[in-house]
A and B are shown apart, each in its own frame.
Chain A
Amino acid sequence: MDEDTTGIRLGIFLFVTAVLFGALGARLWYLQTIEHEVLQAKAETNVLEPVYEQAPRGRILDRNGRVLVDNEVVQSVTVDKSVIESLDSAELQALYLRLAIAASRSGRLTKVDDIRAEIDDRSYGPFERIPVAVDVDPDLAVFIGERSDLFAGVEVGPQTVRRYSYGNLAAHLLGYVGPITRKEWEAMRNITEPDGGEPSDVYQLNDEIGKSGIERLFEDDLRGVSGVRYIEVNASGQPVREWTERYRPPIPGNDVWLTIDIDLQALAERELAEGLAEARRREPRRPEDPPFVASAGSVVLVDPRDGSLLAMASYPTYDPSTFIDGISVTQFEQLTSENNFFPILNRAIQGTYAPGSTFKLVTAYAALQEGVIGPDGIRDIHHAYIDVGDYQFSKCFQESDTCIYSSPYSGPGRSVDLPIAITVSSDTYFYEIGGEGFWLRPNEDLDGDGVSEDEDLQLWARRLGFGTKSGIQLPYERSGAVPDREYYRGQFDLGVFESSQWFGGSTIILAVGQGELLVTPLQLVNSYATFANGGRLHQPNVLMKVTGAGQTGEVLREIGPRILRDLEMPDEFRDPIEQGLLGVPRSDGRYRGTAWRAFADVGLPASWRVAGKTGTAEVQGVADTSLFVAYGPVDVERNGDQTEPDVAIAVVLEESGFGSVAAAPVAARILDRIARDNVEVVRSSSEVEATVSVNRRQLQSTG
């Protein structure tokens, strides 16, 4: 018989029991102290359902503090999803129908399908009220309130929406807001709040987000931080109580002040539309020429002193308020349709055009800088040159021995030097600078600027801001193109160009702003502004400052002039060019500037001297692009001080013919208003409404 080991076995059993209980205690300790915080956080997300409160978005103001975009409280119809969940499909259909009728009757056309789509949208949380019709008549609240049996779960209440005080004005610039897409939301989830908030708090699905323009680029400033209430729910989703201690009130967004002047903006938009309308009324010189469609264009005004944007007009335009409450597919298609000439495009930064003769400023400046014109160049500045109307280029690489470049519009027989060549826009003068000047220089880099000598024209174009984005704080800007050998090869490799060969002819037509050269209106006006201020190339500014919300918000950040490049611009180079530009809008009897008639018609005060340049860019198959770029006032004494030019303007009209005929008058009328300090003050829609109601009241009281 074995020794009786019962006592030992009982001891072992007690020991095992103690070990097991020790394990329980250790695990309990681990879960409740070491893992406590992690698990507590999980527990809270388990039971807390966040309900977000919209934070008011910041306002957008112009440089004088006029409110361009504001928030407005409107009445909107919302539906409580938890209430209508109990309805069957027939009852739902009836409810939707009643809702659609009621909302439509109160002034907001609403379709049953739209309501259904909105309610079926899964991105709404269980405690959110789903908006089905925004901005309805307040009387609808009473109507629905009285019929709560027919409108189960339906409520009419206040909602804030974007309000565009000046209607369509500056629509492209301001941009618009819309509900965040799932893609955007997922991208934004990774952003952490500066105050350490949870990343998922930054945006909720159905939040509004800036989609274009200022609304998009200054989203971080404009957007407030949503408030959040935490509702404790049980496992079946029923609310238990609110955790008021966790409530976080919404933080309103900051106000964004723009550099634009809304009155100037209104003037620019009006004159742009008017200029295009006039162009459409004109007939081409020859019947076989393409008609003046004049469907689109752009006017940009900047302040040369600091590079701030004063106005930016693009035509055709659109009404940003259509984006409130979501835009329908048809509406969006209309905005992006070729038949409507893409109203959504901001042509001032997204339209790229051949600059035509307006580029001659660049060519002349480059020629002077490189010594192409001057004592050692092909001719001196005031060397007379007979413009015979065409230019024969002997070193032509084409099949024949010589190529002839004829000036399409300027007549032959004039004697020109550099200033006059600019004033009368002599193409042959600049053909010669391109052909005999730049093209025949050595194809190697002798002066160490990184570019071979025969491509120094392109180098100076790039130094004046062409070929790269200007860097204005607006989205989707295009960079345009300054063609050179490398660009040709690149385009050939991409299959865009048929040949990779850079010919002499390419440089020649580049000298007059034709060929593959593409610029945006903003780049164009910025280059002239750089010339006007003596060589400071600014990164254009549209943002002036950001202030905290409210009337007395403190300045959070202020944007000063941003100088990209300080170009050497000695007077002996600058004066002859400016002399030529100053001649463009006037006639001195012997030489008529290309834009003299436009300015004579307007009668701009002689004391306010304008330096400008017309441009007529040929476009394959359609009417010419009409351009005019100018700055002023030049050499004006104000209060005894020499003032710098304080405005630069570019006018670009697509398919509108001569720059002197179509674009120059637009610029002349705008500059005239500025010169006379006679810019009309536009009234915001609320001011208009106030006046209307005052008038109505007066009518009622008198009637």
Chain B
Amino acid sequence: MTQSGQHEASTNTDNLSRSESYRETSDEADQPRRFDGWPRSGSYRDEQIPWWFVVDPFLILTTVAVTAFGVLLVHSATRGPATELQPADFSLMRRQVAYIVVGLASATGAALLDVRRLRYWVPAGYALTVCLLIGVVQFGADIRGAQSWFRLGGFTFQPSEPGKLALILVLAVVLTTETVSFRRMLAGLTLAGILTGLILMQPDLGTILIYIVITAVMISLSAVRFRNLVLLFLVAVTAIVTIFQSDLLKEFQKNRLTVFVLDDEAVQDLGEDAIRVAYNAEQSQIAIGNGGMTGQGLFRGTQTGSNLVPEQQTDFIFSVAGEELGFRGATILLALFAIILYRVWRVAVRATDRFDRMLAIGVMGMFVFQVFQSAGMTMGIMPVTGIPMPLVSYGGSSMVTSLTALGLVLGVHRRRFDYSIR
């Protein structure tokens, strides 16, 4: 095999022997060639590859579709009774649209970013994130018992949301090498651990779980040796058991994680907070079950209209979909997520660069966990932890972060066709 050899990090390191594209890319790397129907090589800047191959239209369309879904669901959850005396409340829906616009702009920027510049900025971004996370614990507003938000005028900003991107990027940088040594793995774990530890100060249990899952997924899919992975797994299990037995987590936090598998009587013994959490989880399942096959109709869910499910515009938004759109609508929503995730996975598989692949994998891990957790929580198969459903839940930080993450993935996709920026 001829090697182009210019970029150590990106040329021969990908041993996707199945990848036809790689081989053919190598053959005619320096020769601009005519587009003959399917882009196997070359750069779109050669104007031989049409732009719709450079962007991923499926990913973009499904993303926009999911955000549109989200806008309707957020409106349904926040419009109020909408009687003659009290017209429907559009304020949160308008804001959500605004967040989407900002998020799309941010995503476009992320997609167009030069990867070298991106890598260059990662340490700075990480440092900034650490500062913000320290700052939010110091100066953040206390909302529902956690200091996770900065209050800026009429807006709140949650630094742990963009912090997820910083985590993905920093791990992508650290774990890009051909083989990831034990020390490198430890370095990655340390960097991730600092961020996680800072969020533990807030405390924000749900976000911590996201950080842990992102780290776990990215380490598992990097070139870490299998025995190191097993070792890490054992250490993690020990750590989880230790944490659960130590006082690091408060009693009520532990209860929240376990309450969803307990029956009513056992919950009664755990005290007020556990009862409330169990009640919320039950209300959410009632709402979803109430939807049935066809749903109650958009804006016509009785449980949604009565605000019986807590936080139904954010963490519990899937219950609105379940009640108002029924099995059909909620399945469509999940299917759209599945398409997004498949497209991200496809980008990861076809990425021509280890860094890019790790980036896409990190984003995918984040999405998989957040979707599964936030939907599973409303259906009683996951513990109640405050995790927004990406692209759907109301909230600027989450929306901009999610869209930006997908923008980064689109950038990975773009770079597959672009040698000039290697």
| Given A43-B303, A47-B308: A234 touches B334 (CB 8 Å cut-off) | no
The contact of A13 among B15, B226, B338, B345, by CB within 8 Å, is B345
**Given A4-B223, A10-B349, A235-B308, A32–B81 Cβ distance below 8 Å?**
no
Interface stretch (choices A18-26, A556-564, A643-651, A659-667): A18-26
Query: B288 in the interface, Cβ–Cβ < 8 Å?
Result: yes
The answer to whether A31 touches B289, judged by C-beta atoms less than 8 angstroms apart, is yes
B120 to chain A, nearest CB (A): 25
Contacts of A31 in B (CB 8 A): 285, 288-289, 322, 379
**Which of A25, A35, A233 is close to B306, meaning CB atoms less than 8 Å apart?**
A233
CA distance A31 to B307 in the complex (A): 20
Alpha-carbon separation in the docked complex, A29 to B220 (Å): 32
Residues of chain B contacted by A17 (CB below 8 angstroms)? 341, 345, 364, 368
Closest to A17 in B: B368
Q: Closest residue to B326 on the A side, CB-wise?
A: A32
Asked if B288 contacts A23 (CB within 8 A), the reply is no
* A16: nearest chain-B partner, CB-CB: B368
| Interface size band for A | 35 or more
Q: Select from chain A the residue with minimum beta-carbon distance to B368.
A: A17
Task: Establish whether residues B348 and A10, one from each chain, have CB atoms under 8 Å apart when the complex forms.
Answer: yes
8 A Cβ contacts from B214-228 to A? 217, 220-221, 223, 225-226
- Which of B15, B283, B293, B327 has its CB near the most chain A CB atoms (within 10 A)? B327
Asked if A552 is at the interface of the complex by the 8 Å CB criterion, the answer is no
Q: Within the assembled complex, what's the spacing in Å between the Cα atoms of A47 and B292?
A: 17
Chain B residue with minimal CB distance to A24?
B375
Q: How far is the CB of B319 from chain A (nearest CB, A)?
A: 10
Interface: A28 (CB within 8 A): yes
Measured CB to CB, the nearest residue on chain A to B345 is A14
- Tell whether, in the assembled complex, residue B293 and residue A32 are in contact, meaning their CB atoms are under 8 Å apart: yes
CB contact list, B133-176 vs A, under 8 A? none
Binding site for A on B (CB under 8 A): 15-16, 18, 81, 83, 179, 217, 220-221, 223, 225-226, 283, 285-293, 302-303, 305-308, 322, 326-327, 330-331, 334, 337-338, 341-342, 345, 348-349, 357, 361, 364-365, 368, 371-372, 375-376, 379-381
Among residues of B, the one whose C-beta sits closest to the C-beta of A48 is B302
Residues of chain B within 8 A (CB-CB) of A46 are: 283, 286, 302-303, 306, 308
Contact, CB under 8 Å: A32 / B179: no
Q: Which residues of A contact B217 (CB under 8 A)?
A: 13
Q: Which residues of A contact B (CB under 8 A)?
A: 1-2, 4-7, 9-10, 13-14, 16-17, 20-21, 23-25, 27-29, 31-33, 35-36, 38-40, 42-44, 46-47, 232-236, 238, 240
Residues on B with C-beta less than 8 A from A21 are 334, 337-338, 372
**Ranked 6 nearest A-B pairs via Cβ:** A39-B289, A43-B290, A234-B306, A235-B307, A32-B327, A27-B379
With A43-B303, A47-B308, A234-B81 as given contacts, are A28 and B345 in contact (CB-CB < 8 Å)? Answer: no
A10-B349, A38-B289, A46-B306 provided; 19 other pairs, C-beta below 8 A? A2-B225, A13-B217, A13-B365, A16-B368, A21-B372, A23-B381, A24-B371, A24-B379, A27-B376, A28-B327, A28-B330, A31-B285, A33-B327, A36-B293, A43-B287, A46-B283, A234-B81, A234-B305, A235-B306
Query: Closest B-chain residue to A243, C-beta based?
Result: B302
Contact (Cβ within 8 A) A32 B368: no
B415 CB to closest chain A CB (Å) equals 18
Asked if A47 and B302 make an inter-chain contact with CB atoms under 8 angstroms apart, the answer reads: yes
The complex places the Cα of A33 from the Cα of B308 at a distance, in Å, of 21
- Neighbouring B residues of A238 by C-beta, 8 Å: 81
Closest A residue to B379 by beta carbon equals A27
Task: Find chain A residues with CB under 8 A from B345 CB.
Answer: 10, 13-14, 17
Point out the residues of chain A lying under 8 angstroms from B341, CB to CB: 17
Residues of A within 8 A of B364 (CB): 13, 17
Cα separation A235 to B361 with both chains bound (whole Å): 42
A47 adjacent to B306 (CB under 8 Å): yes
What is the CB-to-nearest-CB distance from B61 to chain A, in angstroms, rounded to a whole number? Answer: 19
Given that A20-B368, A47-B308, A234-B305 are known contacts, is A9 also in contact with B289, CB under 8 Å in the complex? no
User: Knowing A6-B15, A10-B348, A46-B303 touch, does A1 contact B179 (C-beta < 8 A)?
Assistant: yes
Bound CA–CA A14/B341 (angstroms): 9
Query: Considering the chains assembled together, what is the distance between the CA atoms of A13 and B285 in angstroms?
Result: 29
Say how far A22's CB is from chain B's closest CB, in angstroms: 10
In the complex, number of A-B residue pairs with CB atoms less than 8 Å apart? 137
Q: Which residue of B lies closest to A19 (CB)?
A: B372
On whether the beta carbons of A6 and B379 are closer than 8 Å, the reply is no
Closest B residue to A29 using CB positions = B327
For the complex, give the distance between the alpha carbons of A46 and B303 in Å.
Answer: 8
Q: Are B81 and A2 in contact (CB under 8 A)?
A: no
Contacts of B326 in A (CB 8 A): 32
CA distance A44 to B287 in the complex (A): 10
Q: How far is the CB of B80 from chain A (nearest CB, A)?
A: 9
| Residue of B217, B292, B331, B357 most packed against chain A (CB within 10 A) | B292
**Given contacts A10-B348, A21-B334, A240 and B18 within 8 Å (CB-CB):** no
Give CA–CA (A14, B285) in the complex, Å.
28
Given A13-B364, A17-B345, are A24 and B289 neighbors across the interface (CB < 8 Å)? no
Known: A233-B306, A234-B306. A36 touches B292 (CB 8 A): yes
Enumerate 27 A-B pairs (CB-CB under 8 Å) in ascending A order.
A2-B179, A4-B223, A5-B226, A7-B18, A10-B345, A10-B349, A13-B221, A13-B364, A13-B365, A17-B364, A20-B372, A21-B338, A23-B381, A24-B375, A24-B381, A25-B331, A27-B381, A32-B291, A32-B330, A33-B292, A33-B327, A36-B292, A46-B283, A233-B306, A235-B308, A236-B307, A240-B83
Q: Is A40 a contact partner of B292 (Cβ separation < 8 A)? A: yes
Nearest CB of B to A434, in Å? 68
Q: Is the CB of A25 within 8 A of B334?
A: yes
Q: How far is the CA of A4 from the CA of B16 in the complex (A)?
A: 9
- Within the assembled complex, what's the spacing in Å between the Cα atoms of A4 and B221? 11
Please name all residues of chain A whose beta carbon is closer than 8 Å to the beta carbon of B368 when the two chains form the complex.
16-17, 20
CA distance A563 to B365 in the complex (A): 85
Shortest Cβ distance from B302 into A: residue: A47
Alpha-carbon gap, A232 to B376, bound state (A) = 28
Inter-chain contact B286/A23, CB cutoff 8 Å: no
B365 contacts across to A, CB distance below 8 A? 13
Question: A47 — which chain B residues lie within 8 A by C-beta?
Answer: 302-303, 305-306, 308
Shortest CB distance A14–B (Å): 5
- Evaluate contact between A32 and B288: CB separation under 8 angstroms: yes
**Quick check: B293 and A13 within 8 Å, CB to CB?**
no
Is the Cβ of A43 less than 8 Å from the Cβ of B302? Answer: yes
Q: A9 and B220: CB pair below 8 A?
A: yes
A127 nearest CB across to chain B (Å): 15
Task: Report the minimum CB–CB distance from A125 to chain B (whole Å).
Answer: 17
Q: Which residue of B lies closest to A42 (CB)?
A: B286
| Nearest-neighbor residue (CB-CB) of A40 within chain B | B290
Tell me the nearest residue of chain A to B367, going by C-beta: A17
What separation, in Å, do the CA atoms of A674 and B96 have in the docked complex? 90
Do the beta carbons of A240 and B334 come within 8 Å of each other?
Answer: no
Tell me the minimal C-beta distance from A50 to chain B in angstroms. Answer: 15
Name the distance in Å between B313's Cβ and chain A's nearest Cβ: 14
B289 in contact with A35 (CB, 8 Å): yes
Write the nearest CB–CB distance from A420 to chain B, whole angstroms: 80
A50 to B334, CA, bound (A): 37
Contact A28 B331 (CB under 8 A): yes
Q: Which residues of A contact B381 (CB under 8 A)?
A: 23-24, 27
Complex CA gap A168/B338 in Å reads 80
User: How many angstroms from the CA of A238 to the CA of B371 in the assembled complex?
Assistant: 33
Which of B287, B291, B306, B372: most chain A CB closer than 10 A? B306
A12 vs chain B, min Cβ distance (A): 9
Candidates B16, B220, B337; contact of A7 at CB < 8 Å: B16
- Quote the shortest CB–CB distance from A49 to chain B (angstroms): 11
Contact B289 A36 (CB under 8 A): yes
Considering the chains assembled together, what is the distance between the CA atoms of A35 and B16 in angstroms? 46
Chain A residues contacting B18 (CB-CB under 8 Å) are 7
Query: Which of A10, A38, A39 is the most central at the interface, judged by chain B CB atoms within 10 Å of its CB?
Result: A39
A43 to B179, CA, bound (A): 55
Which single residue of chain B is at the shortest CB-CB distance from A36? B292
Known interface pairs A6-B15, A36-B292; A240-B372 also in contact (CB < 8 Å): no
